[in-house]
Amino acid sequence: MLGGKEGEEGMRMKKVVGVAAVITVIMAIVLIAFSCTVSAESVNRTYTDDGGVLWYEGAFISPTKPKDAGNKPGFYEGEEIRFWNKSLSNFAAVKVSGPYKSDGNIYDEYDEYDVSAGDFWDTEGKPTKGYFKVVDADEHGGWFSLNKQSFSLKLEDTKVREKESFNLTLKKNNKKGGVMKLTIEDDDKYSIMNANGTDIYEVLVNYTEVGGKPKFTSKPVDKEGNHVDGITNNTAGELVFNTSTKQLDMRKAKYEIILEDYATEVKEDVTITVEKWYLEMECSEDVIKDWEDIVITIHSSFYEEDVNVTVEGIPEWDEKTLTLDEEGKKRIKISTEKLYYGKYKVTVEVVNFTACAETRYVQIKKGKTSLKVDKKKLQLSVTLCT
């Protein structure tokens, strides 16, 4: 009887072990399948002048849907994409298909494209909607999206004086990296040359998103890779243009600065006006005391800068500092009610450029009155005489 019980115990143990083994195998299969599913994702993309490389790893387990994938990097119409198998550390021959909706269904524009190892897939003219799938011969691959690029530019100032510098910012850009072609054109739509004779036509400058903001990250170079004098980048990620005769040699005129993405051919432009250094002051030569004000009108190329205005003989107007507006203008009115008759010297001087100053003289005179009798009414007429 004892032996029989031991036999039954043994049988039960074998069954338990068998069931456990089956469960272990099932769990292993599930884990492997799950592991393959979650690893089937595009892990990264790089940026080059003509496009970029999609790095992928992991195997697809059908059915697979874009919404279930982890990372789906974005590319932009016009870019050339090459495909790199991260597991093999090499370029791979792949099939690109799409576009797919997020639930895995296809759009009407669906198509399939075979790409040889190391060759590129040209996104020009492809649908910019949904997602595209890339799969190699081992059923490894991932997902990516295709979008339209857009960016905008901002000039710190729209007007500058000759020999000064101005900054250009890449204000927005939905593409996080790449190369821009930069051109400067004059009023007649011809590209300009810098002081060294370098044609500022489609010179190349890199850009990258840094801290969530697009920035210019290199000095512009020509097609031979030589730095272009007159343009550089600063630590803020802006392009700095030097208009001096020894740099860009941008004389008085309007110029168009054009930036075009090397890969997508999307372009934007801004206009900068270069003006001569000037300060002009208008002031009436004669004014009538109590009837007219001394009116001083300033026109200049000193935008939003301070000037000292002095009217000799008027204490409150002894080097009085005023700020010109964004167009370098200002109008001043001074009452003559409490002033004496005589000649006053008026001087306007730019605070940070004292060599730039203008002087005028104004004469405060008396006015004369005369009476005219009309048959219908008595009218007092004031004639202002000089």
Tell me the pLDDT tens digit for each residue of 84-97.
999 999 999 999 99
**What is the Cα–Cα distance from 225 to 223, expressed in whole angstroms?**
5
Tens-place pLDDT, residues 190-214:
999 999 999 999 999 999 999 999 9
Domain pair 151-275 / 279-368, same fold: yes
Structural domain boundaries of the chain? 41-147, 151-275, 279-368
Is a pLDDT exceeding 50 seen at residue 376? Answer: no
**What is the Cα–Cα distance from 333 to 324, expressed in whole angstroms?**
15
How does DSSP assign 57-86, residue by residue?
A: ESB--SS--GGG-S---EEETT-EEEEEET
Inter-CA distances, 326 with 176, 270, 301, Å? 34, 18, 9
Inter-CA distances, 381 with 1, 336, 364, 366, 374, Å? 146, 21, 21, 15, 11
**What is the Cα–Cα distance from 182 to 231, expressed in whole angstroms?**
10
Cβ pair 106, 99 in contact under 8 A: yes
Q: Centre a 10 Å sphere on the Cβ of residue 373 and count the other Cβ atoms it contains.
A: 7
Tens-place pLDDT, residues 154-166:
999 999 999 999 9
Q: What was the pLDDT predicted at 64?
A: 80
Greatest Cα pair distance, the chain, in angstroms, is: 155
**HSE toward the beta carbon, residue 349, CA cutoff 13 A:** 14
Compute the average pLDDT of residues 47-73: 88
CB within 8 A of 289, min separation 6: which ones?
Answer: 336, 337, 339, 341, 364, 365, 366, 367
Overall fold of domain 279-368: Immunoglobulin-like (2.60.40)
213: β partners: 210
CATH no. of 151-275: 2.60.40.1930
Higher-scoring residue by pLDDT: 31, 186: 186
Compute the average pLDDT of residues 295-301: 95
In terms of C-beta density within 10 A (0-12 exposed, 13-18 middle, 19 or more buried), how is residue 124 classed?
exposed
Q: Identify the helix (H) or strand (E) that includes residue 231.
A: strand 231-233
Tokens of 195: 């002081």
**What is the Cα–Cα distance from 292 to 50, expressed in whole angstroms?**
68
Is a pLDDT exceeding 80 seen at residue 381? Answer: no
Is a pLDDT exceeding 70 seen at residue 18? Answer: no
Cβ pair 240, 167 in contact under 8 A: yes
Counts of helices then strands in the chain (DSSP H, E): 1, 30
For residue 89, which amino acid is it? S
Compute the average pLDDT of residues 242-256: 95
**HSE toward the beta carbon, residue 343, CA cutoff 13 A:** 5
**What is the Cα–Cα distance from 312 to 316, expressed in whole angstroms?**
10
CB within 8 A of 276, min separation 6: which ones?
Answer: 161, 162, 252, 301
Cβ pair 167, 133 in contact under 8 A: no
Inter-CA distances, 222 with 26, 245, 261, Å? 62, 20, 15
In terms of C-beta density within 10 A (0-12 exposed, 13-18 middle, 19 or more buried), how is residue 79 classed?
buried
End-to-end CA distance of the chain: 145
- Tokens 């599913």 locate to 37
- Going by pLDDT thresholds of 50, 70 and 90, the confidence category of residue 43 is confident
